[in-house]
Amino acid sequence: MIAGLDPKEVIELALLLVAVGALSGFMAGLFGIGGGAILVPVFYECFRLVGVPLEVRMPLCIGTSLAIIIPTSLSSFRAHYKRGAVDMEILKLWYVPIVIGVLAGSVTARFAPERLFKIVFVMVAWTAATRLLLTRDGWKFGDTIPTGLLMRLYGVVIGLLSTLMGVGGGLFANLLMTFYGRPIHQAVATSSALAVLISIPGALGYAYAGWPAAARFPDVAALQLPFAIGYVSLIGAVLVMPTTLITAPLGVKLAHALSKRALEIAFGTYLFIVGGRFVVSLLNGA
């Protein structure tokens, strides 16, 4: 029994996580988001059910999400790369700044209050949703993506905020690239590659950041979260990972079949809904 759940409830929880893995992988391929925007809200509910303390619940969701994004992002990136849709020049500019941002986010996660993670998630999700749902051709930062210091600064910010949200960077890269006039399909494909750069150091950073929390809450590590490494739940990762790998290529196929506007509306609607879940959580304090 886990945290007062009977065997039937444990089985139901496990099946839910498997199903969420399938949905997460599909969304990763469809939107180039790594799947974290799906995983974090669902993990939050699952960890609430098993009694994880509020103080560590959100960072645990984020760390576990980043770990799962590793194989999902690799699968999504390969599928998009084969279609020739990934902008490799942007990746060359961003890979070092993004890793720097990820490291900064991991350090922040070690000391930040739980509410900060939710606030960042809501602000970014709703900003991106507004841009996608109310998009106008005139809403641009410029006609071409910059190549100098500004572009590298964007990379640092993407790495930092992605690590605090538990996402693969697709939310930010999609938003930024479309603000510079890049097609949504190319933005989605390039974002899938960023998830690889963010998820690996991000997961390692949360595993490290969670050790002090495990010391403060020994009941979490010993009883409610067996086989957890810092802020990464290995049980959650093992249940979700397999189906993400199966469904990610299916999402890629659908992404390239949809029109530009249909893809924008679908992505924007989803972000608005998941952001609203954490607004409710902030208001209720749970």
Query: In the prediction, which pLDDT does 138 show?
Result: 61
- Token pair 């939050």: residue: 44
Do 34 and 75 touch, CB atoms closer than 8 A? no
Task: Pick out the chain residues at pLDDT < 50.
Answer: 1-3, 221-224, 226
Q: Please report the pLDDT score of residue 15 as a whole number.
A: 82
Instruction: Give the per-residue pLDDT at 39.
Output: 78
> What are the pLDDT digits (tens) for 260-281?
677 778 778 877 887 887 788 7
- Are the C-beta atoms of 202 and 79 separated by less than 8 Å? no
Helix axes 36-49, 7-31, angle to 10 degrees: 170
Give the pLDDT score at 100.
92
pLDDT score recorded for residue 139:
63
Tokens of 141: 């930062």
For the chain, domain boundaries = 7-284
Contact predicate 33/191, CB 8 Å: yes
Tokens of 124: 């970014």
Put simply, whether the predicted model's pTM sits higher than 0.75 gets the answer: no
What local confidence, expressed as pLDDT, does residue 222 receive?
A: 41
Report the alpha-carbon distance of residue 105 to residue 4 in Å, rounded: 34
